[in-house]
């Protein structure tokens, strides 16, 4: 039996925590939980922040050895969209990124979520990284379905697609995520100070050492390319053609249309760069061409009436609004997001001390779009 005092304490504690959760999730929408204010939150409880605050990244040492690469750094950060429940998966990805690349470069990280990250999430991630890390909350108006979407129509499509063998065909949160990655992540206040980004997703593998700085004045870098599910983009290409017709001056000369289309733009071959890996120039997305393109597509409603992914829309944007030579294939970065891998071959495999199975390489799969990329040059 519970004593009266215990009961009162329990009721009070429940009230206080519910109140805390409610006030946090409402008032903090669109605001940022920065590195410094998280560190200060922990100070009282632990007698000192378990963060690397105050140690300039360039002096951070790995097991006592200074492995920091000399030279300048690009104005770049890792950008990670994740849920609290992705903690184990993203820890694995971040650990590999640190071991294979960032222990030498100490680039900062920005984590984004539409609900506040848990203290455990922040503590465990901060313990892994060798650069600064910030945790941001996504503003409500950047995440949820906009008011001008007809929910009845959207729901009908989710029900229809949910019956097909298409990943997340019936999911509304997945659609919010795709639209956010397509047109909003680069506008987040924590991302705004950066020019370049490297996207990292949960449960991916980085198989090889990357001993050079990857930021190279290109606009978009990829490792794997493949065709999109037809049913998720039924009307996307019609929208793209309409946009090009109305805004021919926004399309780049010497672009990569022939990666997207086998008939010079008449139809879409559904090839896209697999966007769970992206190294990119944020100014490509922030520029006039892509901004107008995203708004145009967004108002067609296909992120909800179909299930347009960030991968095809980014790929079409990168291909049309960059020169083809600004799109880079990172052939020497060994990478896997289930179920596909890119495994470097020959000398690059040895040099990078890769551990991927050389026979598990999507480049040689008949569905790979790499040959269309190669044909551009
Ligand atoms: N904050 C937040 N992040 C999400 C949500 N859904 C997906 N993400 C993130 O968005 C990215 C892509 O989501 P995934 O669920 O991996 O989508 P996917 O790669 O198409 O599907 P899988 O094959 O299951 O990995 C990952 O970085 C996820 O952590 C969400 O509802 N909220
Ligand atoms: C570690 O090496 C880098 C690059 O050479 C250098 O800039 C930095 O000062 C070194 N740090 C320490 C603590 O020696
Ligand atoms: C980077 O790219 C821009 C735009 O294409 C070009 O004008 C500039 O010369 C390039 N800079 C370097 C260092 O390659
Ligand atoms: Mg994934």
| CATH number of the structural domain spanning residue 296 | 3.90.550.10
Band of pLDDT at residue 41, cut at 50, 70 and 90: very low
Q: Which ligand is nearest to the CA of 90?
A: 1
Which residue's C-alpha comes closest to atom 20 of ligand 1? 167
Q: State in Å: Cα 104 to ligand 2 middle.
A: 10
Same domain assignment for residues 60 and 202: yes
**Do 319 and 346 reside in the same domain of the chain?**
yes
| pLDDT 10s digits, 243-296 | 999 999 999 999 999 999 999 999 999 999 999 999 999 999 999 999 999 999
Q: What is the mean pLDDT of residues 83-94?
A: 98
Which atom in ligand 1 lies closest to the alpha carbon of residue 176? 31
Residue 172 lies in a domain: no
Confirm whether 132 is a catalytic residue.
no
Atom of ligand 1 nearest to the CA of 181: 10
Q: How many domains does the chain have?
A: 2
Does 156 reside within a domain? no
Residue range(s) defining the domain that contains residue 209 = 50-138+184-217
Q: 92-119, pLDDT tens digit by residue?
A: 999 999 999 999 999 999 999 999 999 9
Count Cα neighbours of 360 within 13 Å in the Cβ-side half-sphere.
Answer: 13
CA 200 to ligand 1: nearest atom: 27
* 297 closest CA partner among 256, 243, 246, 220: 243
Pocket test for ligand 2, best of 68, 103, 106 (most atoms within 8 A of CB): 68
Q: Is residue 15 one of the residues assigned to a domain?
A: no
Q: What is the pTM of this model?
A: 0.86
Mutate which of 177, 182, 228, 337 for ligand 1? The one with the most ligand atoms within 8 Å of its CB, which is 177
The answer on 189 and 289 residing in a single domain is no
Residue pLDDT, tens place only, 140-192: 999 999 999 999 999 999 999 999 999 999 999 999 999 999 999 999 999 99
Rounded distance between C-alpha atoms, residue 159 and residue 3, angstroms: 50
Closest by Cα among 257, 245, 223 to 340: 223
- Cβ of 68 closer than 6 Å to ligand 2, yes or no, is yes
How large is the average pLDDT for residues 200-212? Answer: 98
User: Do residue 302 and residue 207 come from a single domain?
Assistant: no
**CA–CA separation, 136 and 108 (whole Å):** 13
Tell me which of 278, 288, 306, 347 is the catalytic residue. Answer: 278
């Amino acid at each position: 039996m519970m004593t009266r005092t215990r009961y009162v304490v329990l009721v009070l504690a429940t009230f206080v925590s519910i109140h805390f959760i409610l006030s946090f999730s409402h008032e903090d929408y669109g605001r940022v939980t920065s590195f410094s204010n998280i560190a200060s939150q922990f100070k009282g409880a632990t007698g000192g922040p378990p963060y690397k605050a105050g140690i300039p990244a360039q002096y951070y040492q790995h097991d006592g050895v200074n492995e920091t690469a000399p030279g300048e750094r690009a104005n770049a950060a890792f950008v990670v969209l994740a849920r609290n429940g992705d903690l184990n998966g993203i820890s694995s990805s971040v650990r590999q990124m640190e071991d294979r690349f960032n222990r030498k470069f100490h680039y900062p990280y920005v984590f984004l979520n539409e609900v506040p990250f848990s203290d455990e999430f922040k503590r465990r991630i901060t313990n892994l990284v060798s650069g600064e890390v910030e945790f941001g909350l996504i503003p409500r108006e950047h995440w949820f379905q906009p008011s001008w979407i007809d929910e009845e129509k959207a729901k009908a499509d989710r029900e229809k697609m949910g019956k097909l063998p298409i990943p997340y065909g019936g999911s509304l949160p997945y659609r919010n995520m795709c639209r956010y990655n397509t047109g909003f992540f680069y506008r987040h206040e924590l991302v705004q100070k950066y020019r370049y980004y490297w996207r990292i997703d949960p449960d991916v593998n980085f198989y090889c050492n990357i001993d050079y700085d990857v930021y190279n004045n290109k606009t978009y870098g990829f490792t794997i390319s493949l065709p999109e599910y037809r049913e998720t983009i039924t009307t996307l290409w019609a929208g793209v053609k309409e946009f090009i017709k109305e805004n021919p001056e926004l399309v780049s000369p010497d672009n990569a249309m022939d990666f997207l289309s086998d008939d010079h733009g008449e139809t879409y071959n559904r090839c896209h760069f697999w966007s769970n890996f992206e190294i990119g120039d944020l100014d490509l997305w922030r520029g006039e061409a892509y901004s107008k393109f995203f708004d145009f597509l967004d108002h067609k409603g296909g992120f909800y009436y179909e299930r347009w992914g960030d991968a095809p829309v980014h790929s079409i944007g990168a291909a049309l609004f960059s020169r083809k030579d600004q799109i880079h294939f990172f052939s020497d970065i060994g990478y896997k997001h289930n179920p596909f891998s890119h495994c470097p071959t020959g000398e690059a495999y040895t040099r990078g001390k890769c551990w991927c199975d050389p026979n598990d390489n999507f480049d040689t799969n008949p569905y790979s779009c790499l040959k269309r990329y190669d044909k551009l040059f």
